[in-house]
Structure 1
Amino acid sequence: MREIWLGLPGNFRGIIWLTVGVFILSGVNVLVKILGSKFHAIEIAFFRYLVGFIILSPVFVRMGWEQLRTERLPLHLMRMSLAFVGQVLVFLSVIYLPLADATAFMFTKPIFTAVAAVLILHEAVTKKRWFLTALGFGGVLIMLRPGSDGIDFIALIAVIAAAIWGTANVLIRMLSTTEPTTRILFYYHVGGVVVFLGPALWFWQSPTNFELMLLVAIGGGTTACMFCYFRAFAVGEANAVAPAEYTGLVYAALLGFFIFAELPSIWVASGALVIIGSTYFIARDESKIRSIAENSETTR
């Protein structure tokens, strides 16, 4: 069986890994939405990081402190601060918005990543990239539908969450130049447990045994999702694999309909299509730029 799996093209395996990861994440969002009627998003976030740390702790122990020690703690702290705020806002959007809406708003992350890369990394941007970015923001406006009634506050939270995560992704890119993935995950999870412990106790609602199982499933599912994402982009090319992430909107719409009787509006569907189109071409454009850069390095 292993030989058959490894015999498949790398891009195909990457698509399978990412599709599985997206499906797991959709299931996690269902659990967050169910538990959100009783538990504060901060308490759910605490369990997410605690369970993730426990699952990954054998890897951290095997590495040892010498390999986990970092000289870039300030950058880790900046990235963690953004990620922690973003995580709570994501949970809030999942709890209070229809699943398809919350998922669609999170597809805007690459747009904010592109903008943050210009502001932080001073990356050169082509006119085509600016056009695609503006198009993506147009999709956001379609979903937000600003008008006489104002903007839905929770929808705005979802957009802010995507912006925060998009910026955090740029900081991960900066860290990745010297920090291995395991070290980044170590500080991310340890920081999450420490930061959310106090606030979680403040908002604490004692879970039943069944609810505790669901909270553990959120942490385990999120960790499994991360692993699937890492494997997907490790075995496949980003421009070939990344579009599989858009299956998340299908999962969210189906799960939202059958479990919560939710129906995505025509505005969300239309805006999501615009965002998916713009982010797809942004990702493809970025992949081409990286490929050219890598080829130029190898020919030197």
Structure 2
Amino acid sequence: MPPPPPEPASGTDRNPGTDPGRSPPAPGATLKRPAMSGPMRGALWMVGAAFAFSSMVGLLRIATEWMHPLQAVFFRNAFAIAFMTPWMLSVGLAGLRTKRLPLHLLRSLLGVGAMMCWFLGLSMLPLGEAVTLSFTTPLFATVGAALVLGEVVRIRRWTATAIGFLGVLIIMRPGVEEMSTAALLVLASAMFMSCSVLVLKTLSGTEDSNAIVTYMTLFMTPMSLIPALIFWETPGLAAIGVMIAVAGLGTIGHQCLTRAMKAADASVVMPFEYLKLPIVAAIGYLFFGETTDWATWIGAAVIVASAVYIARRESRMGVAAAPLAARRSETAIK
């Protein structure tokens, strides 16, 4: 009589983590690690963007002591082209093929306006205060989406936006201190940037990240040349070296930002942008002897809390404000 077949192994005898219907992995085989989630990738990309942009801010303060801020805008864009050249040579014209050229041009116009106001304001304000005021970008985006694009903004988001602008008043202290032109320039930069972010969100849905950054630098370089020529002074080698570093960090920051927006929803990744404040405050203290006063820290806390709440609320309610606004912008320019 043949021996009975062996009994199947019980669940407790099986190797944990293996599929009962599959044979165990061969000796020496490597197990494939699970892919990193989109939100985690987006968060890491945004942390990288925060470090890159914060370092760029410190170098910009040095550069604007050696040349006019509008001249620095031109060099920042011109040298950025050099950093994108290897990618352009590797993909050729096929990598730049797009059906959304008007949106790329619109984003570049908004970007050059934001950059000129930002460089001018940064040259006159303490670093921590300038960066804090730049955090108003999501607040302006909410107002613009409602008033210009007709998006429905309910009472909670309006309340959060109003509270965020209260943070701006805490920093600027109108009536106690004179309203500075530099602070108004930074706020204008935030307004331009809020519109640029809306366009970026819709572009990132279909366009390659490298192509988005390349089109931005190709368009912004000639746009920024005209105002630079008005204040042109031949810079020294040290200034050129600093601006090359600024362009490199700016290119890295925009690459990280674009990939963060591709990987996850803005409500997930944007809170990590606010790491810029402690990083920039440390740079200002260590290298320029600047201290960030109590009003800036309190105002920053109010603005950041408001912006994070708006992003979370949009995500929870399924508003998707940025994509909607950008799609309407695309329709308007066709």
Same fold (TM over 0.5): yes
Q: Distance in 2 between matches of 1:236 and 1:70?
A: 23
Aligned residues: 291
Q: What are the Cα deviations for residues 89-148 of structure 1, in whole angstroms up to 9, with x where unaligned? A: 111222211111011011110111111222343222121111111111111121121116
Match of 1:37, SS state, is helix
Aligned to 2:14: none
AA aligned opposite 2:150: H
Cα offset, 1:179, TM superposition: 4.9
Contact 2:209 2:255 in 1 (8 A): no
1:153 aligns with 2:145: no
Normalized per residue, the structure richer in helix is 1
The letter of the residue matching 2:96 is L
Q: 1:77 to 1:229 in 2, by over 3 A?
A: closer
Amino acid at match of 1:218: V
For 1:228-252, what per-residue CA distance to the aligned partner results, in whole angstroms no more than 9, with x for missing partners?
A: 2233344445433322211111011
Range with greater deviation from structure 2 (216-225 or 37-46): 37-46
- In the aligned structure 1, how far is the partner of 2:265 from the partner of 2:33? 17
- Counterpart of 2:178 in 1: which secondary structure? coil
- Indicate if the aligned counterparts of 1:117 and 1:170 stay in contact, CA closer than 8 A: no
Work out whether residues 213 and 255 of structure 2, in 8 Å CA contact, stay in contact via their aligned partners in 1.
no
The 1-side partners of 2:219 and 2:205 are apart by 21
- Residue of 61, 75, 78 corresponding to 1:33: 61
- Offset, 1:198: 3.4
Q: Would the aligned equivalents of 2:314 and 2:320 in 1 still touch at CA under 8 Å? A: no
Change (3 A) 1:49 1:212: same
- Partner Cα separation in structure 1 for residue 86 and residue 303 of structure 2: 39
What amino acid is the match of 1:47?
F
Partner of 1:97: 125
Distance 2:120 2:178 in 1: 20
Cα drift, residue 65 of structure 1? 3.8
- Pair 120,6 (structure 1): closer, same or farther in 2 beyond 3 Å: farther
**Counterpart residue number, 1:125:** 153
| Greater shift in the superposed pair: 227-236 or 190-199 | 227-236
1:182–1:118 distance in 2 versus 1, CA, 3 Å: farther
In structure 2, the partner of 1:14 is 42
Shift of 1:70: 4.8
Match of 1:165 in 2: 193
1:48 aligns with 76
Contact residue 129 and residue 296 of structure 2 kept, 8 A: yes
The one-letter code of the counterpart of 2:135 is F
Q: 1:281 aligns with which of 304, 309, 319?
A: 309
CA contact (8 A) 1:17 1:229 kept: yes
Structure 1 residues 77 and 8, CA, compared in 2 at 3 Å: closer, same or farther? closer
1:197 is the counterpart of 2:215: no
SS in 1 for 2:56: helix
Contact 2:70 2:120 in 1 (8 A): no
Distance in 1, Cα, partners of 2:228 & 2:222: 10
Q: CA RMSD in A?
A: 2.7
The verdict on how the C-alpha distance between 1:246 and 1:8 changes in structure 2, with shifts beyond 3 A counting, is same
The answer to whether the aligner puts 1:206 opposite 2:240 as a matched pair is no
1:249 aligns to 2:249 (yes or no) = no
Deviation at 1:204, TM superposition (A): 2.6
Alignment CA distance shift 1:236-1:226 (3 Å): same
User: Aligned pair 1:84/2:112, yes or no?
Assistant: yes
With over 3 angstroms needed to count, the CA separation of the structure-2 counterparts of 1:6 and 1:291, relative to structure 1, is: farther
Task: Give, in whole Å, the separation in 2 of the partners of 1:265 and 1:137.
Answer: 18
Judge which range, 69-78 or 254-263, deviates more.
69-78
Aligned with 2:292 (options 257, 260, 264): 264
With structure 1 as the length reference, what TM-score do the two structures score?
0.86
Q: 1:27 Cα shift?
A: 0.9
Structure 2: give runs of 5+ residues left out of the alignment: 1-30, 322-334
Gaps of 5+ in 1: 294-300
Amino acid at match of 1:33: R
Q: CA deviation at 1:173?
A: 3.8
Give 1:54 shift: 1.9
1:141 maps onto 2:173 in alignment: no
Structure 2 counterpart SS, 1:262: coil
CA contact (8 A) 1:14 1:232 kept: yes
Structure 1, residues 28-65: CA drift from partner, whole Å, max 9, x if none? 11110011112111221112111222222333344444
User: Looking at CA atoms only, which structure, 1 or 2, has the larger radius of gyration?
Assistant: 2
Q: Which residue of 2 aligns with 1:296?
A: none
**Residues 58 and 277 (structure 1), Cα distance of their counterparts in 2 relative to 1, 3 Å cut:** same
> CA distance change for structure 1 residues 231 and 78 in 2, over 3 Å: closer, same or farther?
closer
> In the TM superposition, what is the alpha-carbon distance from 1:8 to its structure 2 partner?
5.1
Q: Distance in 1 between matches of 2:267 and 2:260?
A: 11
Matched, 1:188 2:216: yes
| Equivalent position SS for 1:121 | coil
Q: CA deviation at 1:196?
A: 2.0
Secondary structure (helix, strand or coil) at the match of 1:96 reads coil
